[in-house]
Structure formats: C-alpha cells, structure tokens
Amino acid sequence: MNLDRRRLAVSLCLITGLLFPAGLTEAEEGSVLFKNVRIFNGVEPTLAEGHVLVSGNTIAQVSEAPIEPPAGARVIDGGGRVLSPGFIDLHAHVTLGTPKDMLRAHPWVRGAITGKVLESYLRNGFTTVRDAGGTHPELARAVDRGLLTGPRVYPSGAVITQTSGHGDFRMPHDPHPTLCNCGADHTLVDGFSVIADGEAQWLAAVRENFKHGATQIKIMGGGGVASDYDPIHTLQPTPEEIRAAVQAASDWGTYVMAHSYTSPAIRRLVENGVKVIEHGLLIDDDTARLCAEKGVVISTQIAIFRMGAELPGLTEENRAKMQQVLAGQDNLIGLIKKYGLKTGFGTDFVFGIYPRVNEEFAARADYFTPAEILRQATSENAEIVRMAGPLDPYGDFGEIREGWLADLVLIEGEPLEDITVLARPNESLVLVMKDGKIYKDSLPAD
C-alpha cells in the first residue's frame, strides 16, 4: 500500500470508526504478495518455503520461486514467518457471548456483545465459524455485506429441541410456547431455540430455519450440561422426530448435527441419519465403531469441558453435569484415534469466555501433534463445513491452494514445534486476512 492509499485508508477508518474498532484494521482491496514465508498448506505436516500471491479474494499463485508483484500490489516480506490458512471453529455460538444469567438480556445488548464476539474471533485468526445454533442467519448476511466485522458464519439458525430438552432455556414457571397462548420466553422469541414435539413440529422447525437461511441444522439430541431440566442420560428426541429433521435437511441437500454425549443417544441419532455428533464424550467402543462404519463425524471440543468452575452463570447442577461428561474425554479421543474418525476443531466457548478461544490449541496438545491440530483447525474443518453442499454460499477455503479463497494468517513463532504459541494470539498472529482483505496487521512498518 503506498502512502496515499494508507492515508486515505486512515481517513476512512476515522469515518467508519464504528465498523473497524480498535485492534482491527480496515479492509484493503487489490493484490497482496506474501514473499519469504514458510507455508503450512492446511494438509501437509511440514512447512514449504515459498511465496503466495493473493488477487482480489483468491489465492492466485503459490510458488517456490519468487513471484513478480503485479503493479500496485502490496508486498509483505514474511521474513520466514509461517503462513497458514485462516482458522475455522467448528462449534461456535457467536450469539452466546453473554454470561448464562444474561441469556435474557435485551436483544440490543446481546446483539452488541455478538458484534464483539465476531471481532474477537477475527482478531484471533478465525476466518470462518460454523455456528452450532442460536444465531439467526441474518447475522451471517450482515457480515457478508460488511456491516459487521467478523469471520464468515455458517449459521444453523435456532437450535431445535424437544420440550424439557437441552435447548429448553425457559424459566421453570414459563408457559409453553404452543400449549398455551401466552407470551414466550426471550430465548424462543429471539430465535435462539425452537421447542418442537412430534414429527410435524420437527419438520416445520427445520424448514423454518431453512427459510431464514440456515446452512445446516442443529438439534439437541440428548441431555446437556448448561440446561436445567434434562439429566445427561436422557434421550431426546424420538427416532421418528430425528428422522423428520434428517428428512427435511436432506431434502435441502444438507445435514443434521446433533448435540449428544452418551452411547444410547449417539446410537439413536446415527441410526436415524444424523451425520455429525457434537461432543460425544461418553461414547463407548461399539458406538464409535458404528460412527466409523457410517462415516459420521464426532466434532470435539477439549478446553471448555475443563473450565467448569470458570464459566460465569452456571448452576451447581450444571457444573456437576460438566464433571460427569468430562470424565469421558480421554476415552473419547482414544476411540477417535482407534477408528480414524474425523473430528475437526471446535471450541463451544460460550458465556463470556470468547476472548480466550485460542486456548483450544493448547488443550488439544494433550492428545494431538501440532500438525494434526493445525490440520483439524483448517482443512479438516473446511471439509466438514462443506457438507452443507448446495447451501454453501462460498467457494473453497481452508487450504493454501491456487484458486481457493484467501483466508490466511501469518504466524510469529514455530507452531509446528509448539502449538501453544497460537494460544497467545496477540503475540503470534501478526496478520489476519479473510477473503483477500487484511483485518489485522501488526507487522513492523516496512
């Protein structure tokens, strides 16, 4: 960027200060050449020295030999730093950035906090998130239009839950939304969740989410930690209701992801067509084998389950349930490795702890090599996100490949030797590019 463009950009930044708050720079257009970088391409466990040219929102060229910069291109000397695809969070809840006891805060307050969550994700190197429920797809469209600064969002719309299920966050005395003609709880009115009972309601709930623009469907398929009426062992919903959801999703060409922990719950979900299990911590060997046979993904989150005491707003009962499922973590990862299950990289960092989302990189180091973790957070997650099929509105991303979307992070440090550098993003992430635009740039001036 020449000086004039930089000055113009600074003025624009002052004018649009609300759109580009402190810590994130304004987006830039045009070509960008990254020279002298070591490339983690999203797949290979080694780094390749080279150069990467970005043109518009696309990776135009990846080369071992120097690339001649096009006229007007910004040239960034990587100085041997590591260039990786931008990170993807496979299990985010961008509208759950408030403490749990603020779930019912005014929608404007929760919306404002959601804006902070989005910016935080981008600043921390996440260029895409798959929202695991509760987020209206209009939010994703607002990001795409540039009205909000954040990662690309694959929204699931409202989570679908049965009465008294893991998505039923009403107060104990609240009326039922359909069994009574009274006002409903905020979590229902604002579309965090929808309570459905019976096949017809499950069909309608899924179809309504597609009307809003969901790219995949999230259902609550068993007892949960943060909800108050459903012990972990409970089975939710019935096989017929699961099949109704799966039918409506597959009719739209996409898939159902389901929250669940126990083997009986997972078995029921998988046997009735669910393709992605979220959490799965209390799975047994037979059920893991069934998942492998059916090509089912078990989407894991490691750090959050170790934070029971730190999560604001949880009750004692919630914390006890968290301990109950945490006990299965070692066994789950062992079975994922034994059967070669695809798992990806998710966080589930809800209830106010979103700025710490990169701690997931460090927590995973107990189980996986740095290269495995980086691959999970980039190319493996991207493969899972692409299961949305014809509902996926974007091009390919998650790898450094010619013709793919330019989602890139430039890393200070040696992430393939010590993945925990990524748990300190303020130090290690010197540049974040999403869709060819630079949003964070703390490189020293040329």
Binding interface with Zn ion (CB under 5 A): 132, 348
Q: Which is nearer to Zn ion, 89 or 119 (CB)?
A: 89
Q: Which is nearer to Zn ion, 32 or 132 (CB)?
A: 132
Tell me how far, at minimum, the Cβ of 226 lies from Zn ion, in Å. 8
Q: Which is nearer to Zn ion, 135 or 358 (CB)?
A: 135
Q: Are strands 193-195 and 159-161 parallel, antiparallel or unpaired?
A: parallel
Tell me how far, at minimum, the Cβ of 93 lies from Zn ion, in Å. 6
Tell me how far, at minimum, the Cβ of 363 lies from Zn ion, in Å. 16
Q: Which is nearer to Zn ion, 1 or 225 (CB)?
A: 225
Determine contact, residues 199/241, Cβ cutoff 8 Å: yes
- For the residues of 375-393, what is the DSSP string, one character each? HIIIIIHHHHHGGGGGG--
Nearest in space to 47 (alpha carbons), one of 427, 417, 407, 406: 417
Helices vs. strands in the chain: H and E counts, helices first: 14, 17
Burial letters for 308-328: b for 16+ Cβ neighbours within 10 Å, e otherwise?
Answer: beebeebeeebeebbebbbeb
Q: Which is nearer to Zn ion, 132 or 411 (CB)?
A: 132
The alpha carbons of the chain give a radius of gyration, in whole angstroms, of: 22
Determine contact, residues 313/324, Cβ cutoff 8 Å: no
d(CA 212, CA 158): 10
d(CA 274, CA 74): 46
Q: Which is nearer to Zn ion, 381 or 428 (CB)?
A: 381
d(CA 128, CA 304): 19
Cβ neighbours around 338 below 10 Å, total: 12
Q: How many CA atoms within 13 Å lie on the side-chain side of 137?
A: 18
d(CA 133, CA 157): 6
Tell me how far, at minimum, the Cβ of 280 lies from Zn ion, in Å. 12
Tell me how far, at minimum, the Cβ of 438 lies from Zn ion, in Å. 30
Determine contact, residues 193/184, Cβ cutoff 8 Å: no
Give the DSSP H or E segment for 287: helix 285-293
Tell me how far, at minimum, the Cβ of 100 lies from Zn ion, in Å. 12
d(CA 169, CA 185): 8
Longest CA pairwise span in the chain (Å)? 69
Q: Which is nearer to Zn ion, 225 or 410 (CB)?
A: 225
Q: Which is nearer to Zn ion, 278 or 407 (CB)?
A: 278
Give φ, ψ of 74 to 5 degrees: -85, 130
Q: Which is nearer to Zn ion, 258 or 421 (CB)?
A: 258
